[in-house]
Structure formats: structure tokens, C-alpha cells
Structure 1
Amino acid sequence: MPFSEVHRGVIRFGVFEVDLPAGRIRRNGLRVHLQDQPFRVLAMLLERPGEVVTREDLRARLWPSDTFVDFDHGLNAAVKRLRDALGDSAENPRFVETLARRGYRFLAPVELPGKAPPAGQTSVIAGLRWRFLAVGFLVVISAIGFGLHLGMRVSRALQPALPKEIRLTANSPDVPVYFAALSPDGRYLAYIDPRGTFLREIGTDESHALPLPEGFRVHHLSWYPDGTHLLAEAVAGQEQRPSLWNISVLGGAARKLVAGAEAGSVSPDGKQVAFLRGDKFDHSEIWLADTDGGGPQVAVEVPGFVVGPPAWSPDSRRFAYLQDVYWPGCATEDLRIEVYELAGRKSEVLLSDYRLQYGLVWTRNNRILFSRAEEPPNQGQSNVWSLEVDRRPGWPGGAPVRLTSGPDWKPVINMSADGKHAVFIRTNIEPAVYVADVHAKTREIGRLERLTHDEWQSRPYEWAPDGKSVLFVSDREGTFHIFRQQVGAAAPELVAGVQGSPNILRLNPERTEILYSVESDRKTADARPTETSSQNSGVPARRATNSQPEGEFQSTNVRLMRIPLDGGVSLLLLEDSGINNFQCARLPSRECLYSKYTKDALVFEEFDAKTGTKKELLRTSEPGWQSFNWSLSPDGRTVALAKKMRAAEEAEIRLVPTGGGAPRVLKVKDWGRISTLDWAANGKSFWASATLHGETRALINIDLEGRAKPVLEESKPYVGWAIPSQDGKRLAIWEATGGSNAWMLEVPPAW
């Protein structure tokens, strides 16, 4: 029906009537209050029921081109109000469906306004109507009883209840469960927490620690089919790299099987183990060996890296794995489940979804259980899903089915041999902002004080010039915005006028404006294709250290915006592809830098914080260039770079003068995996998040000679970064807290 006709009548769907000309909506005849913008969103969706209405179309209709507004925030709020009025939900939509990164679609059947019948036909229609009503009334009455009974049975059959969830551990937040493995007979749970490795009898809830040598740190477990032995990934004593070990739950010494191996998984027939290997930055190879560790050989090499242990098929002829194909600066991250067939020595893609998370299980009835993240505004949650696998390798046998609901992250771990029980971890991580005082002479910090008192994701990036409030980004309204909160205040204040969903924010050299980055569109550059084992099933291809993404290199186009410190109008400063970080020095220096990923190098550009003019400063394409993190000194004279390598590698910091000259390298003894790096306010040391060789994650202070001083050691999931105030007296610290426990899922055969 033409748009003009739609707007001349009343549209009906479900129990709702929408009078578009009058701007009113009624539910069962009663008027529902709905603001103007949500109503206009509804009107646009009703114009094209069943079709995608893009966010760009909505923006063009709702806000004229010369109107300044935070479009993402405004549209998300309008859609939320519309759903509230309709009694709809984003998780299980009946009316308004969200299509990630695209727009919205109206799902329900719509009764559009029809044309009135010709005058001559009216009496005929009225005359016939009573005859059908009399007969129809008797038919309907006789069918109601049977129909209701049958309808309820069909409804229950089509909408089965979710599987039952049973809590297995009840650890407090300071001793989170890292990993858990269910024995083949489903009677025992082996699990790992900061205190050690434990065995729990599920029927009695009795637990005891497994007798392991001192300094034997277990990271991952897989049961042997006999139910008396565990394949463990562990670091023993002074060793730096993990190995695979055989541990008896009945007692006895642990036996080393394979050195330099991680995330081992025993095949159901007990004849092979699959495990991961890779370089100092990631896991890129899946290996096979005998269950005693003999005859190790590479089976699969992937472009990208493997996330988590392989999941064996019930017949031990195939295994599934989660592959993350990510290239720095690319517009998208390709996460997919692939199935490898041992006989044919080839992999096939089973499912591709950017929301896939850690953990796969292959059930006895030929289904794969996996974890998938939820869409905004529930991006801090994931749920367990089930997907049937066809007999042919790599072919799905149906649509995925969700098995769990509710908040928390839920990585799937493993399953009992009978396929009736699966174990997953519920992790309720709460990223928050803390503040602490800094002792000037000792570089020690005082007691942490929580700044953000909520469960939203919040990331601090700057202090206000007066050192009394912190600037951070947070997703407390579904998408990220910039907030400012004073120390001791109960809630933050929104910095009004920010466009898009900001990623990073910094202050300009004068400390009068906020600079922030937002993604815009994508640009395409050529890239060399990489041969994979699925392209050549004979011999797995060797992966180069800096292999390129397959096909075209689609870089993310990023805008740097500027806005007054107290909010106002955002202005475009500059735009470039692949920007991943930026920073400015403090006056009297006006040095500002941003780094960007290209297909073969990390490039640094100097830019003017007022005009946006830029020029290349330096670039690096050395091995592992994709893993560099960096920070600009307060005086703008030095860039400090550190690679985010694996914890077993010794950390180092490279100091590169911005005015030219030879770089200097600081060796940081005993510490590895420098995840974050920020200069101290006086330019004489660094605040860094690092990992002590072994287990300890900590916030450390590193002086210009490479001497490290731990200031905050935590057993909690994450210790993030620390941002110093301009006077150096305070730190704003990103840290995640929360509990983590093992749960069991009773999986019916129908799932």
C-alpha cells in the first residue's frame, strides 16, 4: 500500500491500534502514552513491516541534517521507550527486532487500512453476513474446547522450558573458579581456583585438594575416559612455559607428557590428545599426540588464533575449535567454529558469528554447545547455545537453540560421557573505576576507593585539570558515552554533545578540550590472501609471522572529535583509517600523536590538536608489531612502547625520542605481558599492568632503569590501567571485580 494511504487510516497489530494522522496508539481500546520521537520511529517501522529500516534512514527522518544531536543515544532511547509502551523486549522481541549495526525490523503481522467497499455492495454484504454468523457461531463454540486443549499442547511442544541449571560451587568473589571439568560418569567435578586444584563429589558436595607439588600451577583440565586421570595444562616450579601433565585423582606423582603445550583435550576413545601451540603472541596451531605424549604432530594451522581447547566428536574422528581471525585495524573480527576431519585432514566452517565466546562442547547426540554474547544493551552477558551437527563434517543440521538465560558470562567447559550434563562457568565481572592516592617518594598507593558504584562497563582515560574529577567512557545507557565524576560523588555527569559511541578520550595540550575517537565507515585496501588447510587438504600450510587477512583488508575508519571540557558542540578534528590509540603531551609541548594499523605496519602520525593537520613520525613492521602498546611522555619528547606478549616472555619497554635519535630499551626483570602502559605525571616512571612469571597479575611502577615495584597485586579477574592526575597525587584505576562459579546444565536429548 502506498505511503500516503497508510498515513490516512488506522493500522492494527496484535491488541494495538495506531492512528497515524492523530498520533495516537491504543491497546485494547485504551490509550497508551508515547512521546513524539518513539511514535515517529513506530510510524517508520509500520511503513515497511518485515523490512529492515536502517539507522541512517531513521536519523534522516527524525533529525534534520542541520540539527546537532547525539544520534545514537537519542535513537536508542526512543526505541527503548517504544518497546516499553508495547510491552516488548530486546532479548525476545515480538514487535521490534534489533539487527546489529544495521537497524530495526517490525515483526508482527500488520493490518493496514483498507478501502471502503462500493456503496452498491454494502447491503448485499450486510444481508449475507447474518447467515454465516449463525452457522459460524455453532462451529466456533464446538471447536473452542478442542482447540484450546490442542493449542496448549502444541504451544508447550513448540516452546519447551529451558534446561535446568544446578550450581556446583559457591566460591566467594575473592577466590573465583577459573576452570572446571566434569568426570565422564558425571559424579565428580575437578576445578581450579586461586588456592589450587580441587576434586568435588557432586552427590555429597565433599571436596578435597589434589596433592600437587608446591609451585605446580594448573590452568586447564580434561578427563581421561577411565575417570581416574586428568590431563592438565600446568606450569611447574621455575618453568616459564606451560606443559601437559598426567595427574591421577587417586594419588601419585604427576607425569609430564608434552612440553610447551596448552589447552589439552583427551579424545573420547582415549587414544589421542589435541592441544594448542603458537608463538609468543598467540595460539595458531592445533597439535595431536598419543595420550602418553608420544608422536606429537601439527594438525591445523590457522590464520589468526585458536580460542580455547578443541572439542572432540563422540566418535573421536573430528574435533571442533573456535577460530578468531582478527587483523589489527580491520573493520570486523571474524569468529567462527570450524570442524576438522582427521581422515581428510581438512577443516570446514560450521558457524560464523562475531559474538562467539570461549568454550565448545561436542555432545553425544551430535550437537555442539557454545557460548554467544548478547547484543547491546546486554553486551556484558553471554548465553549457552546448541547447534546440531550433520554427519557431513562442517555442515549444521539446524538453527542454533538457546539453552540458558539471564545475566553473567557463561563459557561452556565440558560434558559428561552420557551427554546429559554440561558444565559452564558463570562469571559476573564488574569493570569499575577506582581512585587512590600516590605517595610521592615511595611511589606506593593508598587504599582504593571505588568511584563508579554500578555494574556498567566504565573505562577511565583522564583527570580533569583540577585533579578532583575523572573523565571516563561508560555504556550505562546501552551505548558508550563520556562522563565526568568528582571523587566522592554518588553519580557521574554526562558530558553533553558527544557524537557517536566514543572509544578513547584524551585532553588536548591546553587541557581545555576533550578529544575522543569514534568509528565511522570502512575503507578497503588490498591484502595478500593466506592459504589455509581448508584450501589445501594435503599438507597444512605454514603461517607467516605477519600473515595477512584473507581477501580484502577492510580497515576501520576512525574520526577524532573535539569538544569543550564542559560539553557543547563536537567538531571533527581529523579522520583516518585504522586509528587505535592517540595521546597529547602537556603544555608547553603541543606534541600529539596517534597510531594506526596498516596491512603491514604500525604507523605513528603527529597531529595538531586545533587544526587536525598531520604528518608521519615513524613506523614499525618488526615481528609482533601488531601487539605494541604505547604512551607519550608528558613533555612530548619520548614515546614508550611495549609489546603485549605472553606472560612467559620477559617484558621490555622501548623508549623512542620524538625528535629523532636512537631508541633505548628497558628490560623489566621477572615481569611479562605488559598489557597497559602510562607515563607517571612527572615523566620519571611508568604505571603498567603486568604479569609476574607464573600467576600474579599486578599494577606495577617501573622506573627509567627498568626496576619494577608492585603497588597492587590482585587475584581478581583483571587489573587494568592507571591514569595519573596532572599533579601526580592520584591515580584513576580500571579494575574488574566479581565472582565466578561452576554450574551444571541438564541437557535433554531433544536439545
Structure 2
Amino acid sequence: MVSSIESPSRVTFGLFEADLQTGELWKAGKRIKIQSQPFKVLSALLEHPGEVVTREDLQLRLWGKDTIVDFEHSLGTAINKIREALGDSAENPRFIETLARRGYRFIAPVSYPVAVTALASPAVLVPSTEQNAVSAAAPLSINRSRVWPLLYLVGGVAALAAAAGIGIYIGSSRGSVTPARITQITHNGRIAPGAPSMESLPATATDGVHIFSSVIQNGRAVLSQVSIANGDVLPLSIPSDIPAPSMGDLSPDGSKLLLRNHLSPESEQPLWVVPVDGGSALRVANILAHDATWMPDGDGILYAAGNQLFVTHLKDEVSTVLATVPGRAFWLRWSPDHKLLRFTIIDPLDHTTSLWELAAGGHTARPVLAKWSSPASDCCGTWTADGKYFVFQSAHDGSDDLWRLNGKSTSDPVKITNGPLRYEAPLAARNGHRIFFLGLDAQSELLRYAADRKEFVPESNFLSLANRVDFSRDHQWVAWTDAQGRLWRARTDGTEELQLTPDAMQVFLAHWSPDGKQLAMMAREPGKAWHLYSVPADGGSPQLLLKEDRNAADPGWSPDGNSLVFGRVPDLMGKESGPRAIQLLDLRTHAVTTLPGSEGLFSPRWSPDGRSIAAISFDQRKLMLYDVAAKTWRLLTETSAADPVWSATSDAIYIHAFMAPTQPIYRVAVPSGKLDEVANLASFHSGEAADYFFCGITPDNVPLVRARSSTGNLYSLDLDAK
């Protein structure tokens, strides 16, 4: 039975907060419009998170047993209105799950700003604040015989405990399972998620009281300490020698951080040791590495550079090779008994992640879960303090969740979360079996720059979900990629919208041919390299243009449409050993030629008038210009640069100076190279944008950007919770 207690007034979930008494709904502090009837349905679901609320119960709650109404239509309309307000979908729900012919269930983590007394029955679990785990008391009468069973056997071994949509699987018998507890630690939605495709993993560390994590502030990831008790965030005092610190590890005694810089695009960076309580940074010898961790004794550092693992001792700064591994190693974690090292390998060609292990004193690594996921997506494991469990993240069936292995076992992983968020970066507490992790629920929107207001404003039309945008030369059509990497096209008024690529293909960017009949794409299939494709603008199968066993990027059209200029990916998107330069592909003969003097350049863009090709140096600090007739390169400007876009008249190039403190978008005049700042971080409403990237320009040279208002929060669970 459910005890009779007063229901809490305010309920929070993700970026949303609902006041069940006043009928108001907010998202990240902004009031969201929602009609009375849909809000009543939402309230009913929020009062019973994790439970099935039947259609009959909702009918009684909203209309009463004696009211004559087209109930099915009215309820369906109300649910659609709720999903519209929350940005949810029936096909891939993050908040409201439909159970055919039965009812609905609220599946997202729920917490309450004001503590209330817990229910007497433990049958329902909801995420809580650190101080107390709570479940809402229910004025709505729930028919318990109709509630979806909270416990069922998985593979005959593990049991599922429903946690308001976060399933916690714990090996136990059906009769003795007690739900584990999910705790939401932060609520600001600004924990930096990293970018695995850019060799940036969201590493964290803990001293038992705080979690050290990167938090997005003023458009940059700032290394901060987060209170485990109340989620308070305090930026750390990091010396200016390290302008963009990336977490490597916390020393065994909890006094020193091992960091590397991640602002520069070079994949191998210096290592630094910084006291947690502030002080001077110590450069670790002359080491360049892409990841590192402390040795268990705290006197040495294990680091990864290239395809090798090294150990260096701080006393004599002498480095020795530990092992050669089959790829680039990240997330290095020693077992508590110091006898086994587990780590993640990122393959630069097929862009997969896999778990590997190396015995202490050994020199040959072996896979932990060979061919368990396809393509491989296993990453970022952590050992509990006693070594009883090894928890890692993996993607299956479109969901990124946490999984558990028993100790040093390499088989039979058990799933311990089950959406609706993406769960990443597990971190074990310094004692017990508590796990901290990142729950991603990124919110972003496309904005255009309004010069008259000197600020970015939302693009509320059909392009609001676009990531990268390209307009046809005649300005009649527009193509764009969405968050899933699919390519779309439509007329500029939004009509004749058409998806051009299959769901399984990931498109990074695409450009219209001069005649507007096709698009050239940088795209890839799951578990494969980036390749060059073309696709008809009216629809059809994408065609592979250049078959290679390496990454190719950034195709751009010649004025006559007979050739493509293209480059290679930077180190952070796949460090390769082959030569990297700007090349031309003749679409008639399939011959490939290299532009003279283009070694060390990437991201080419051919001007609309055909006279010039712009490209960026691999350190992304120089914008170069190639004279097609003279076949010579020259420096156009020296500044940080990303995502170059030519103006329609070929008299300027727009770039994002992402390394600069204010991250401006510049208009670079051609041929003078004069820089004019168009917009920067201050062009967003204060606090509305966590960060942004440059998406393109409109035919009248208006910059488009995609700004994130939130990324994710820190959560925790205890594998032993009873």
C-alpha cells in the first residue's frame, strides 16, 4: 500500500521543472506554454514516476466516470501536446513511454526541490537529491494489478529494478530484489561531455568528497570540483600554463591532479602535475602524450603516446616503454591489486572504441570483450575500490548505458542502466560500490545572427534542428545535417523536404554541386572510415566516389562540377601515418592529384568563382589561400580557424576563431586578409548558450550557429543499495 502523504508541489526532471499546484512548466528557467488538460495528464504521470498509469485511471482523474467525452482522442491529443512541450517523441521516448492498450509511464529521472517523507512501500524508486530518496504520494488511484511488473529476470540471471526510467539490473532472485538508488548530483546541465570522435573523453576523478570534472562556463570547459553532497560547483585555480586543462587522473593520495592541455588541436600534448589546493604547475619532463594516469605507488606516471604505453618516474624523469598496443590507448585504469591494467583503444580508421587489458609486467595486450558489440563501442571502464566490479559504458540498440563485469571476468556483462539519458564516464568511489557517471541530455538550437540587434536569435523554421547548413548556388534549395547525422534537403521556404541518406549513414557535411543536381558528402557507415560520397538532390542511393583504406574529408566542387577538392581529417579525428595534403579528384577519370605545397593543410573550400581554394593548417592557426591559376599558396591570415565558408561573391571567407577567448566569428576579406569580427560569445543572451559551433551562412551572408544550452549532469548509483 502507498502511504497517504502530501504530494510535493515542484518536480524536476532533466532541464524541466513542473509546479503541480499552479500548473506551470519551465525549461532551464524559461516558462513553457502548455494547456491545462495536457498538464493534468503530465501531473498524473509525474506523481507516479516509473509506474504505469492506465488509460482508465487517467480517464477517471481528468474527466470522471460520468462525463461523456471522446476520451481516446482527447487523451491522445494531450499526450502529443506534452511531448511537443518536452521535445519528446513516441518512437524514441526520453520522458513518456506508451504501453499499447494499457497506458503511459514517465521514464525520466525525477527529483524534488523540497524533501518529502518517503513512501512506506519500496516498490517504486525515483532518482533523488543527495539528502534523501523520495517517491511522490498519489492522489491518483492506481490499479496495482495493471502496473507493469517492476522486476523480471534478464537472461535468467539479473533482475531489473525500475527507477523512473533508469533500469538498475542487480543479480538476485526475483523475490529478494530491492531497488538500487539513483542520485542526481548536479542540476545545472553544464557538465562537459567531451567528444570521443575528437579524442576527448569526459574523464573525472574523486577524492571522496568532490568529483573533479570539466564544467562549461563562458563557452569553455573549466576544470572544477563538484560537491558530492550538494552538487555545488567551484572552479579550480589552474595555472595559466594550461589554458584548457583536460583531466588525466588524481594522485592516489588525492593531493595532485595529472592534466594535459586540450585547446590546441595537436593530439599529443604536454603533461602537467598541479596541486589540488592551488600552486605552480609542474611540467612532466619533455613528455607529449594523449592520455595518462598515476602509477599505483604515486611516484610514477603511465602515459600513452602514439601506439605505445610508457612509464616515467618523477624523481629521475626517465621513461621506459611498457607495451605496444593495437591503437591509441585512453582511459588507463589499474585494478585495485595493481596486477591488471584496463584501457580503451580508439581506432582512428573505423572510429570504434574497445576495451583491452594488460597484465602488470606483461607486454602483450588482449581484448576484454572481443566482438561483443558490433561495431565496437565499449569504453571507459572503472574498477570498484575492492575490485569486485568493473563498470564501463557501451552502446547497444541505440542506447548508451553502463554495464558491469564481475571483477576480472571478460564475459557476461550485466546492464545496470536503461536510459532514457545517455550514460557515460563511470567513476568509482574511493570505497564501497558507489558509481558516479555522466547523464547526457544535450539541448541545442540553430540560431542566426541578427545584425540590427547584435545578437543571435533562434531560427524557428524547419532548419531549427539543423547542424550544418549549405545553400545551393541559385539560393533556391538548402541542405542540412541533423543531430543523427542524416542529410536532408528542401526548398528555402521549407517545402519539398526530403531525407537523402539512410539512417545508418553518418554525414559530417555536404555541399551542393554548381548545377544543384547533386551533393558531395563527407560521410561514413558504422565502423568504417570517413569517405567521399555523392547523392542525387532528388533522392537516390549515395555513391562512393573514392575507395581508400583511410579517412577522406571536406569535398568541395570545382566551378564546372567535374572535380572535387578534398583533404584529410585532423589528428583528433583520426591520427594516420600516411601523407596528408589537399587533393583533387577528377570525377570523370577518378584520377587523384595533389595540390603542390599543400602538405600539412586540411579543410579545403573552393571559392564560388573558382579562382581560389582556402585551407587551414593542421594546427588550425593559419588560413591559407591557393591561387588556382598561379598554383601557389599564400598566408591569408594568422588566427585560430575552423569551419571556413566562402561568401557567395567570393570576396570573403567566414571562420570560427574557436581558440580565442571570446570565440569570435570573423569575416576575412579576400584578397587583403583583413579581419572583421561579426559576432562572439557575448552575442548570446547571458547564460543561454553553454557553447556553440559555426554551421554556415545564409545567401545574404548571415552566420548560422548551433548553440548548446545544456549538456548533462552528474549522477550516482550504489550497486549494493538495499
Q: Normalised by the shorter chain, which TM-score bucket?
A: 0.5 to 0.7
TM-score after normalising by structure 1: 0.58
Provide the rounded CA distance (Å) in 2 between the counterparts of 1:236 and 1:258. 20
Provide the rounded CA distance (Å) in 1 between the counterparts of 2:543 and 2:376. 32
Provide the rounded CA distance (Å) in 2 between the counterparts of 1:740 and 1:214. 27
Instruction: Report whether the alignment pairs 1:165 with 2:193.
Output: no
**Alpha-carbon contact 1:180-1:423 (below 8 Å) kept:** no
Q: 1:412 to 1:702 in 2, by over 3 A?
A: same
Residue 724 (structure 1) aligns with = 697
Query: Unpaired runs of 5+ in structure 2?
Result: 1-90, 93-97, 108-149, 162-167, 169-179, 195-201, 569-575, 683-688
- Alignment RMSD, CA only? 4.8
Q: How far apart are 1:257 and its partner, in Å?
A: 3.7
Q: 1:739 to 1:590 in 2, by over 3 A?
A: closer
Q: How far apart are 1:615 and its partner, in Å?
A: 4.9
SS of equivalent residue, structure 1 residue 346: coil
Q: How far apart are 1:678 and its partner, in Å?
A: 2.1
Q: How far apart are 1:557 and its partner, in Å?
A: 7.5
Residue 359 (structure 1) aligns with = 380
Provide the rounded CA distance (Å) in 2 between the counterparts of 1:556 and 1:213. 38
Q: 1:475 to 1:294 in 2, by over 3 A?
A: closer
**Alpha-carbon contact 1:500-1:518 (below 8 Å) kept:** no
Residue 403 (structure 2) aligns with = 385
Provide the rounded CA distance (Å) in 1 between the counterparts of 2:340 and 2:305. 19
Q: How far apart are 1:632 and its partner, in Å?
A: 1.0
Residue 614 (structure 2) aligns with = 640
Residue 702 (structure 1) aligns with = 668
Structure 2 matches for 1:510-549, cutoff 5 A?
A: 510-511=515-516, 513-515=517-519, 517=521
Residue 306 (structure 1) aligns with = 329
SS of equivalent residue, structure 1 residue 326: coil
Equivalent in 246, 270, 275 of residue 303 of structure 2: 275
Residue 402 (structure 1) aligns with = 415
Provide the rounded CA distance (Å) in 1 between the counterparts of 2:364 and 2:283. 30
Q: How far apart are 1:635 and its partner, in Å?
A: 0.9
Provide the rounded CA distance (Å) in 2 between the counterparts of 1:493 and 1:302. 52
Provide the rounded CA distance (Å) in 2 between the counterparts of 1:313 and 1:257. 24
Measured against aligned partners, the alpha-carbon deviations of 1:577-626 in whole angstroms (never above 9, x if no partner) come to 2564433356xx5564154879956674455xxxx63453622699976x
Q: 1:706 to 1:749 in 2, by over 3 A?
A: farther
Instruction: Report whether the alignment pairs 1:655 with 2:625.
Output: yes
Q: How far apart are 1:401 and its partner, in Å?
A: 2.0
TM-score after normalising by structure 2: 0.60
2:412 alignment partner AA: A
Equivalent in 223, 226, 244 of residue 250 of structure 2: 223
SS of equivalent residue, structure 2 residue 391: strand
**Alpha-carbon contact 1:324-1:333 (below 8 Å) kept:** yes
Provide the rounded CA distance (Å) in 2 between the counterparts of 1:236 and 1:592. 35
Equivalent in 536, 559, 565 of residue 562 of structure 1: 536
Query: Unpaired runs of 5+ in structure 1?
Result: 1-75, 78-82, 93-150, 279-283, 391-395, 440-444, 523-552
Measured against aligned partners, the alpha-carbon deviations of 1:674-723 in whole angstroms (never above 9, x if no partner) come to 44222222223322234327x76554333445555554444966643342
Q: How far apart are 1:339 and its partner, in Å?
A: 1.3
Equivalent in 602, 626, 638 of residue 628 of structure 1: 602
Instruction: Report whether the alignment pairs 1:344 with 2:355.
Output: no
Q: How far apart are 1:654 and its partner, in Å?
A: 3.6
Q: How far apart are 1:343 and its partner, in Å?
A: 0.7
**Alpha-carbon contact 1:437-1:729 (below 8 Å) kept:** no
SS of equivalent residue, structure 2 residue 591: strand
**Alpha-carbon contact 1:426-1:741 (below 8 Å) kept:** yes
Residue 296 (structure 1) aligns with = 319
1:424 alignment partner AA: F
Provide the rounded CA distance (Å) in 1 between the counterparts of 2:480 and 2:602. 23
Provide the rounded CA distance (Å) in 2 between the counterparts of 1:518 and 1:235. 25
2:158 alignment partner AA: L
**Alpha-carbon contact 1:177-1:742 (below 8 Å) kept:** no
Provide the rounded CA distance (Å) in 2 between the counterparts of 1:429 and 1:371. 18
SS of equivalent residue, structure 1 residue 264: strand
Q: 1:717 to 1:462 in 2, by over 3 A?
A: same
**Alpha-carbon contact 2:368-2:410 (below 8 Å) kept:** no
Residue 742 (structure 1) aligns with = 714
Residue 683 (structure 1) aligns with = 650
1:618 alignment partner AA: T
Provide the rounded CA distance (Å) in 2 between the counterparts of 1:412 and 1:374. 16
Residue 371 (structure 1) aligns with = 393
Residue 450 (structure 1) aligns with = 458
Q: How far apart are 1:318 and its partner, in Å?
A: 3.1
**Alpha-carbon contact 1:431-1:456 (below 8 Å) kept:** no
Q: How far apart are 1:563 and its partner, in Å?
A: 3.0
Residue 190 (structure 1) aligns with = 212
Residue 202 (structure 1) aligns with = 228
1:683 alignment partner AA: S
Instruction: Report whether the alignment pairs 1:473 with 2:486.
Output: no
Q: How far apart are 1:436 and its partner, in Å?
A: 2.7
SS of equivalent residue, structure 1 residue 639: strand
Provide the rounded CA distance (Å) in 1 between the counterparts of 2:556 and 2:410. 50
Percent of aligned positions with the same letter in both sequences?
A: 14
**Alpha-carbon contact 2:455-2:679 (below 8 Å) kept:** no
Provide the rounded CA distance (Å) in 2 between the counterparts of 1:642 and 1:433. 25
Measured against aligned partners, the alpha-carbon deviations of 1:189-232 in whole angstroms (never above 9, x if no partner) come to 23333555444443466665544445654321522222333334
**Alpha-carbon contact 1:606-1:616 (below 8 Å) kept:** yes
Residue 423 (structure 1) aligns with = 436
Q: How far apart are 1:658 and its partner, in Å?
A: 4.0
Residue 44 (structure 1) aligns with = none
**Alpha-carbon contact 1:555-1:577 (below 8 Å) kept:** no
Provide the rounded CA distance (Å) in 1 between the counterparts of 2:426 and 2:596. 37
**Alpha-carbon contact 1:678-1:722 (below 8 Å) kept:** no
Provide the rounded CA distance (Å) in 2 between the counterparts of 1:220 and 1:521. 31
Q: 1:410 to 1:666 in 2, by over 3 A?
A: farther
Q: 1:636 to 1:624 in 2, by over 3 A?
A: closer
Residue 121 (structure 1) aligns with = none
**Alpha-carbon contact 1:669-1:707 (below 8 Å) kept:** no
Q: How far apart are 1:312 and its partner, in Å?
A: 1.5
Q: How far apart are 1:634 and its partner, in Å?
A: 0.7
Q: 1:292 to 1:655 in 2, by over 3 A?
A: same
Q: 1:749 to 1:269 in 2, by over 3 A?
A: farther
